[in-house]
Amino acid sequence: MDSRKEKILNLVIENYIANAEPVGSKFLVSIGDLDLSEATVRNELRALEEEGYLTHPHTSAGRIPTEKGYRYYIKNLNLAKSQISKNDSKVLENSLDKATDQELAFKNMARTMVELSNETVVIAFSPENIYYTGLSNLFNKPEFDRLSLIADISEVFDNFEDSLEGFFEKVDSNPQYFIGDEHPFGEMLSVLSMRFGKDGLVAILGPKRMDYRYNFGLMKKLLELI
């Protein structure tokens, strides 16, 4: 992909992550410092859609990312440099110091990660011992405003032990993203996960529109602390 298309794709994805609204050519020209005409941007958006990186809802002329678009975006993010603020780092660190029992400390940490990321966090101390929190964050996202979607996601969490069993094998000790059908928790979600200790696993679950850069920085900080 040439640099102009990549810049436009990144702008679409980052604005969709921030606003949950389809992104159009007029908006991109107004905010993107592209030095391109609206017609040129419109042509590039059309090309990105034809190549499978973007799509558009039937009710809007604006574009939204596809799974292929998100995967390209993540692959080209410099995640190694992702970091959270000093204040957020301190908040996360303090959450682990609130309890002497390791399991309780990790649950405190999970609740803090939910507050910082505005996503859902899962801690599995083993495939049979699972704690999750922040599910309301997921249900409050505009992507999941239909009752049928909420029911589908609720069913996944009702059977979480079964879903996690095979997922453990895919995850290692370094944070890694799984999008759509790459994980067992529903194709509308993205998951950032890593293993810890002998049998532990931690995961941040959210819509594909999650803040990939921030969440990776949050997981990196957690990796430093545990």
- Which three-class secondary structure state does DSSP give residue 100? coil
At 46, is the pLDDT very low, low, confident or very high (cuts 50, 70, 90)?
very high
Q: What is the largest CA-CA distance in the chain?
A: 61
DSSP string, 114-169: HHHHSSEEEEEEETTEEEEE-HHHHHTSGGG-SHHHHHHHHHHHHTHHHHHHHHGG
Classify residue 74 by burial, with Cβ atoms within 10 Å: 0-12, 13-18, 19+.
middle
The pLDDT score that the predictor gives to residue 101 is 83
Overall residue count recorded for the chain in this entry:
226
Q: What domains does the chain contain, in order, with CATH numbers?
A: 3-76 (1.10.10.10), 81-225 (3.30.450.40)
* Average confidence (pLDDT) over 195-205: 92
At 98, is the pLDDT very low, low, confident or very high (cuts 50, 70, 90)?
low
Q: Which two tokens stand for residue 141?
A: 């996202």
pTM of this structure: 0.90
* Average confidence (pLDDT) over 123-142: 89
